[in-house]
Amino acid sequence: MRERVDRVIRAEAVLTPAGFAPGAVTITGGIVTAILPVDEPVETRPIAESGLHDGGATDIRLPKGLVLLPGLVDTHVHVNEPGRTDWEGFASATRAAMFGGVTTVIDMPLNSIPPTTTVRGLELKRAAAGPQSSVNVGFWGGAVPGNLGTLHELHAAGVFGFKAFLSPSGVDEFPALSSAELLAAGAEIAAFGGLLLVHAEDPAELDAAPPAHGRSYAGFLASRPPQAEASAIDRVIDAVRRTGVRAHILHLSAAAALPRLRAARAEGLPITVETCPHYLSFAAEQIPDGATAFKCCPPIRDAANQELLWEALLDGTIDLVASDHSPATAELKLGHGGDFGLAWGGISGLELSLPAVWTAARASGIGLERVLGWMSAATARFAGLPGKGTIRQGADADLVSFAPEESFTVDVSALQHKNPVSAFDGATLRGRVHSTWLAGTLVHETGPSGAGVTGVTSPAASAPPEDPPRGALLRRPAPTP
Ligand SMILES: [Zn+2]
């Protein structure tokens, strides 16, 4: 007789590393213990004796039309707290994540004040995130001119890797690295086996381009040309070749850079590449003048460019898709009369990244399992989280029920992130998240109609991480009851 489990979730389609198949996923102690035939009898223990925190049913069968997915791991989120909490904060950002089926977010080291460039900055982040986060949260550190030589301290304290800019970041407290500093950072990070993430736009190419001003989207696009990305990526490739550091190209927009990335991979260099839902969803031709909700850096380029990004995802040149959720206040985003030179650059899409990418993928005949491969399995692998991003025996039971064929129109005022601005407002998207489980505990469920969306109380944050040198999550796989 099989041992009793905390919970079993049955679905006609469960996404495992082998693809979609009917199954019954059993969970004990926050961990997936088995994937059984869908109708297999399973004995569950009373909820009070279990490690679950929700008081819900222990034997769950998803309604027809819903599939069971691993929770998304979003490795590119700007939470901005502390310091710019009026832009975004841990409570609102992680709630948006939970509603969007994202069970783990890794926070970027800017635009909080202070930035996560010191151990003290990391401690402040953890103190801010711990009491108010609804999902697992981890932190990237930053590599800036002023902290080179001390990066091992941040690494030992549990950051997942180090983000650097080559061009101005947009905030004064997070300066860019020069070419020499990029090499120094690469050598330093390589010495302890860390990871270097780069916002790759070349400042010389940006300076040579006509500056963005006024309401014209074409004008904004011309101010951040593809060569700026390509040239910066050449510098990163050079730094990898010379220092051996593992590097990651953040938010690739310019398809023109793909051939050099393919060549670098063929050379065996340890480089990974990311793109974002907005580059895969929107094309420059459709963006109205003055629509600064669409402003981000690097910019959304034309439809032909987008087609090449999809090809690169399909052939593996681009490894993963992360949201680059980067909000500001509505005033900073929209308050300049549609002037692309003055508006804040950043798109708020954390809650919508799965339906947005799925909508575009589905239209091209690309399967949902590929989408999860880019947004869950690959991002978990990239961040070094072997228990995340997959449904298999021994993995964390961070799970999502999803209705791939349901469609909805985005109403930005109904989204959970702090400032109601998003490039996706008004878009009709396919695919709705119905429920989110964190370590087997139900933390979010939509109303039966799909209309009244309700948040379910999440368990309290668990103890601080005990294994910092590998990137450390605030919420461990099995929360203490
Ligand atoms: Zn970013």
Residue 274 Cα to ligand 1 midpoint, Å, equals: 11
Residue 68 Cα to ligand 1 midpoint, Å, equals: 29
Model pLDDT, residue 460:
39
Residue 137 Cα to ligand 1 midpoint, Å, equals: 16
Residue 342 Cα to ligand 1 midpoint, Å, equals: 18
Looking up tokens 């550091």 gives 245
Q: Which two tokens stand for residue 393?
A: 């025996």
Residue 170 Cα to ligand 1 midpoint, Å, equals: 11
Question: Taking the alpha carbons of 430, 405, 76, 466 in that order, is the dihedral positive or negative?
Answer: positive
Residue 299 Cα to ligand 1 midpoint, Å, equals: 12
Please state the rounded mean pLDDT for residues 286-300.
97
Residue 108 Cα to ligand 1 midpoint, Å, equals: 7
Residue 243 Cα to ligand 1 midpoint, Å, equals: 25
Distance, CA of 140 to CA of 192 (rounded, Å) = 16
What DSSP designation does 211 have?
A: P
Percent of the chain whose predicted confidence (pLDDT) is above 90: 90
Tell whether pTM > 0.85. Answer: yes
Residue 448 pLDDT class (50, 70, 90 cuts): low
Q: Cβ distance 438 to 350 under 8 Å?
A: no
Residue 346 Cα to ligand 1 midpoint, Å, equals: 7
Report whether pLDDT(466) > 60.
no
Residue 60 — φ and ψ, nearest 5°?
Answer: -115, 135
Please state the rounded mean pLDDT for residues 399-414.
96
Report whether pLDDT(75) > 60.
yes
Q: Cβ distance 282 to 310 under 8 Å?
A: no
Smallest CA-to-CA distance from 239 within 281, 190, 300 is with 190
Is 158 buried (19+), middle (13-18) or exposed (0-12) by CB count in 10 A?
Answer: buried
Residue 109 Cα to ligand 1 midpoint, Å, equals: 9
- Over residues 33-67, the pLDDT tens digits come to 999 999 999 999 998 898 888 988 999 999 999 99
Residue 75 Cα to ligand 1 midpoint, Å, equals: 10
Collapsed DSSP state (helix, strand, coil) of residue 13 = strand
- Tell how strand 399-409 and strand 136-139 pair up: unpaired
Residue 265 Cα to ligand 1 midpoint, Å, equals: 24
Q: Which two tokens stand for residue 397?
A: 């039971």
Distance, CA of 200 to CA of 195 (rounded, Å) = 15
Model pLDDT, residue 431:
98
Report whether pLDDT(419) > 70.
yes
Distance, CA of 118 to CA of 470 (rounded, Å) = 17
Distance, CA of 334 to CA of 351 (rounded, Å) = 20
Residue 461 Cα to ligand 1 midpoint, Å, equals: 26
Residue 115 Cα to ligand 1 midpoint, Å, equals: 13
Q: Cβ distance 139 to 126 under 8 Å?
A: yes
Residue 4 Cα to ligand 1 midpoint, Å, equals: 44
Model pLDDT, residue 470:
56
Report whether pLDDT(267) > 50.
yes
What DSSP designation does 55 have?
A: -
Looking up tokens 């099995």 gives 478
Mean pLDDT, all residues of the chain: 93
Residue 48 Cα to ligand 1 midpoint, Å, equals: 42
β partners of residue 69: 400
Residue 131 Cα to ligand 1 midpoint, Å, equals: 24
Residue 436 Cα to ligand 1 midpoint, Å, equals: 25
